[in-house]
Each structure stands twice: as C-alpha cells, then as structure tokens.
C-alpha cells in the first residue's frame, strides 16, 4: 500500500513514521510513504501558497491551485484522495479498516485557517480526528497512516495480529496483565492464571463489556452490544 501526503511540512509526518512498527513496515516494503509539497507547484517567485480570505476575517487560507497541482502530480487511477479537515467524518477503527483495503491513498493536509473551499470539491472525502483544533493536518495524517499500517497483512506476525484490540469489535479491550503475578500488593486476576482458554475468553468478554459500559457507554446498547457511532462534526 502507498500513501502520498500533500503537505508544507513533510518532516512533521515522516518523523513519527520513522520509528517502531511503521518504520519496520516501510523497510519491508509493506507500506510506502511519499511526500509532495504544494510550494513546489507555485509559479510566483515568492512560492506563495496562501492568501487572505475573500470577505475578510483573520488569518490566511491555502490557495486551491498549488494544492490541486500537488494532488494531480501523485493521483492515479484508483487513488483515494482524503482531505484532513474539520468537517470530515470522524476517524475510527472501522474507517481505518476500510482504508487498509485501498492500494493508494493521498492525504491532503490543510494549514493556517484552512483551504479554499473549491479545493475540497477535488477530493473524494474528508476525515477529522476529533473535536479540537490543531495547527494543520500533518499530525492527523501520521495518525491515519499509523493506524492503517497496523492492519496491513505482514506487519504483525500471525500470533501478534491485532484482532481483539479496543474498538476492533466495537468495545474497549479487556484489562491485560504481565509478570510478576503480584505487584505492589495487587494480584493478577485468578481467571487469567487457570490456563483454561475458554474461561479466559469469557472473562475477557465480560470485562470488555463492563469496562465499555463504565467508561464509554455511548459505544454499547442496554444489552451490552456494540452500537454504531453517530457522525459528528469534528475539528481538524
């Protein structure tokens, strides 16, 4: 799979993706990450990528033409172009799983006060991370790539595959423990020490439902079953 990130600040995206699991996946050729800078497609001598908004208002907007040319330089047949912005669909594990089925995703990072609205019409969809404001789309782009990469075949060994993590089945993950069995007066639950895999699975399912009901009741119905999350307007 390949990601191309349209950004004025490629190092902000590349740095966190150059460590740990994603870095290994990149070295193995499971995922490729490329960068394209809109400033390289400006025609004026100042390489201007932003200007004041029509109608007045604070800040500067990214102009449509440099962004459009940058997208066009990497877009090909079958590419999915995603804008990272405040009006987008909330990013979720389900959304990540859908993106993981694509071969090529172009992530467009806004900056300053946003982008010219006409450029949004040249993208396929918009994604947002949450109800808060960041200085640009670079950190969301890194989050999306990290999350999607973890779902690609070959990134994890079979026994390490992320099949029961939080949100994968609509619930939070059950509590987990490691050695020692007794730490500062607190014991590992006895159910996990039995070696009975069926009982351990039942315990984890119950704890996942209990934990979700206590911390994220919006994720389950009255019978403890996962519910579809509602769409909300999120900020970049």
Which has the closest alpha carbon to 171: 138, 133, 204? 204
Are 140 and 44 in a shared domain?
Answer: yes
In a domain, 22, yes or no: yes
> pLDDT value at position 157?
81
Residue 25 placed within a domain: yes
Q: b/e map of 209-236 (b: 16 or more CB within 10 Å)?
A: bebbeeeeeebbeeeeeeeeeeeeebeb
CA end-to-end span of the chain: 25
For residues 142 and 168, membership in a common domain is answered with no
Q: Looking at residue 126, what is its pLDDT?
A: 96
Is 12 part of a structural domain of the chain? yes
Closest CA to 21 of 34, 9, 8, 30: 30
Q: Mean pLDDT of residues grouped by 10 in the chain (236 residues)?
A: 98 98 98 98 93 93 96 98 94 96 98 92 95 94 98 85 63 94 96 96 94 92 72 37
pLDDT recorded at residue 112: 87
Could you please report the per-residue DSSP string of 184-204? TTEEPPGGGGS--HHHHHHHH
In-domain check, residue 232: no
pLDDT in the model for residue 230: 41
Residue at 15 is within a domain: yes
| Bond before 210 cis per omega within 30 degrees | no
Indicate if 73 and 35 belong to the same structural domain.
yes
Distance separating alpha carbons of residues 90 and 126, to the nearest angstrom: 9
> What CATH number should be reported for the domain holding residue 145?
3.40.1280.10
Considering the domain architecture, whether residues 52 and 128 belong to the same structural domain is answered as: yes
129 Cβ contact list (under 8 Å, min separation 6): 84, 90, 91, 140, 143, 234, 236
Q: Give which of 138, 139, 136, 125 is closest to 90, Cα–Cα.
A: 125
Task: Give the contacts of 45 (CB within 8 A, at least 6 positions apart).
Answer: none
Three-class SS of residue 149? helix
Note the pLDDT of residue 27. 98
131 found inside a domain: yes
Tell me, yes or no, whether 155 lies in a domain. Answer: no
The secondary structure of 95-147, three-state, reads HHHHHCCCCEEEEEECECCCECHHHHCCCCEEEECECCCCCECHHHHHHHHHH
Structural domains counted in the chain: 2
Supply the pLDDT for residue 69.
Answer: 98
Residue 25 exposed, middle or buried by CB count within 10 Å (0-12, 13-18, 19+): buried
In terms of domains, do 49 and 132 share one?
yes
User: Is the same domain home to 171 and 83?
Assistant: no
Residue 193 falls within a domain, yes or no? Answer: yes
Domain ranges, residue 177: 163-219
């Amino acid at each position: 799979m390949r990601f191309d990130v349209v950004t004025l600040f490629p190092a902000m995206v590349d740095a966190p993706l150059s460590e740990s699991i994603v870095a290994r996946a990149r070295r193995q050729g499971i995922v490729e990450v490329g960068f394209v800078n809109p400033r390289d497609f400006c025609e004026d001598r100042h390489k201007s990528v932003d200007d004041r908004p029509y109608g007045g208002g604070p800040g500067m907007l990214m102009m449509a033409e440099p962004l459009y040319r940058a997208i066009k330089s990497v877009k090909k047949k079958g590419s999915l172009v995603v804008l990272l912005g405040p009006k987008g669909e909330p990013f979720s594990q389900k959304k990540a799983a859908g993106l993981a089925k694509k071969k090529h995703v172009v992530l467009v990072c806004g900056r300053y006060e946003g982008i010219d609205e006409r450029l949004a019409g040249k993208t396929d969809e918009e994604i947002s991370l949450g109800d808060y404001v960041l200085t640009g789309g670079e950190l969301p782009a890194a989050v999306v790539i990290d999350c999607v990469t973890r779902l690609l075949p070959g990134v994890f060994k079979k026994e390490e595959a992320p099949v029961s993590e939080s949100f994968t089945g609509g619930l939070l993950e059950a509590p987990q423990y490691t050695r020692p069995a007794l730490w500062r007066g607190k014991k590992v639950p006895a159910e996990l020490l039995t070696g009975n895999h069926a009982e351990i699975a039942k315990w984890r399912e119950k704890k996942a439902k209990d934990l979700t009901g206590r911390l994220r009741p919006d994720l389950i119905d009255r019978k403890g079953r996962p519910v579809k999350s509602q769409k909300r307007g999120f900020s970049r």
